[in-house]
Structure 1
């Protein structure tokens, strides 16, 4: 199976893996992260928790948390379905290869190479599932931390702020894992280009990076938050 990959396949896959890793490092661990939409939202999450600590009526906060948990659960379920679809695709390899022969997608793909590509796609969806699952768990923890924030009349402002910031940090960590899961789905879409040919993988990877970069640094949503500072 290893020898089914041509030199161009190796180069294209290496570019895909490097581009994903490089994007993760730049967005999550470089100075640029301080200018991203995610970081601006992290500040709003802290402001939300501090505001929550100043009042006793917290029904709106529990509703927001339920919405966040539902989002993580939804995408986690979608990842499971995608994994199942990948296994179904492996079971229908002969039919898919016949479709390849009838379509102008470049050189004919071997059975081993097709199965290898599907396995890689499955790994990406498994990665996303674990990210969404952990995000859902952390949002649950955040709900517990919100419930542990003392009422206004029961604790001093400093005590309430400390408890609220703990909940905020848990919420931010959960959102990072949720974002990583979404990013995995985006790169899974880029990975689909490899099923056509290595050059399409180059193009689809660059396209996904361009879309994610624009949304995180140049989108209207980011301008809304930046202009309100």
Structure 2
């Protein structure tokens, strides 16, 4: 039986609604403005076009390795949090006693606490699968980089197609990696629910403003659009 109050239900609906809305805006754009993540897709294609013109691709291999390591790091981090969530489920009685001793008037029931922990585990489980898939796609992209002919290859059209395939693979890997990061961002907002549904809505709004600024109003985006 779900131990949810009306405020909890509203808070959760607000949390997931904002998460889905940000994903939509991030992928479709804010008016005529394109997000930083989407702008970087063209840079990935440009990287692969430049890569196809190089005889030596040591730098490209190092970049691919760093991208793979980043995905592997966050996948491992997600697994660690999943382990912590499992441990928290076993310490429910201790948690209830701790909250009962706090001077803030917070009341926590067993069902409510376990539901919150399960939700956190679901969020980080989702992020793990996103990072793990991104890691695999970066490996595929590295293979496609190795399979792309060099400038000595006479068939320029075939070389361009191979470079484009590698670019599309890096874009797909980057999309899943970004979704994993987005999940971690909103996981911080979700932690507010452990205090109260009102804090959940406040932290969700705060995280939304932070990620929106980074995607549409940051110096990094300005560097790509020559706005500054």
The reply to whether TM is greater than 0.5 is yes
Contact 2:192 2:199 in 1 (8 A): yes
Unaligned runs of 5+ in 2: none
Q: What residue number does 1:74 align with?
A: 73
Tell me the distance in 1 between the aligned counterparts of 2:24 and 2:73: 27
For residues 17 and 94 of structure 2, what CA distance do their matches in structure 1 show? 32
Unpaired segments ≥5 residues, structure 1: none
**Residue 171 of structure 2 corresponds to residue 169 of structure 1:** no
- In structure 2, relative to structure 1, the CA distance for the partners of 1:97 and 1:222 (3 Å cut) is same
Partners of 2:75 and 2:128 within 8 A in 1: yes
Q: TM-score, normalised by structure 1?
A: 0.95
Distance in structure 2 (CA, Å) of the matches to 1:104 and 1:152: 70
Structure-2 residue corresponding to 1:150: 149
Q: Does 1:89 align with 2:113?
A: no
**Aligned CA distance change for structure 1 residues 39 and 68 (closer, same or farther; 3 Å):** same
* CA distance in 1 between partners of 2:183 and 2:105 (Å): 27
2:213 is the alignment partner of 1:217: no
CA distance in structure 2 between the partners assigned to 1:94 and 1:24 by the alignment: 37
The question of whether the paired residues in 2 share the 8 Å contact of 1:105 and 1:197 is answered with no
* 2:153/2:159 contact within 8 Å kept: no
Cα drift, residue 33 of structure 1: 8.7
In structure 2, the CA distance between the partners of 1:156 and 1:172, relative to structure 1 (3 Å rule), is: same
Aligned-residue Cα RMSD (Å) equals: 1.6
Relative to its length, the structure with more helix (as a share) is 1
Which has the larger displacement, 65-74 or 91-100?
91-100
TM-score by length of structure 2 reads 0.95
Runs of 4+ in 1 over 6 A off after TM superposition: none
Question: Is the 8 Å Cα contact of residues 106 and 197 (structure 1) preserved in structure 2?
Answer: no
Number of residue-to-residue matches in the alignment: 228
Classify the secondary structure of the residue corresponding to 2:21.
helix
Q: Counterparts of 2:92 and 2:183 in 1: how far apart (Å)?
A: 24
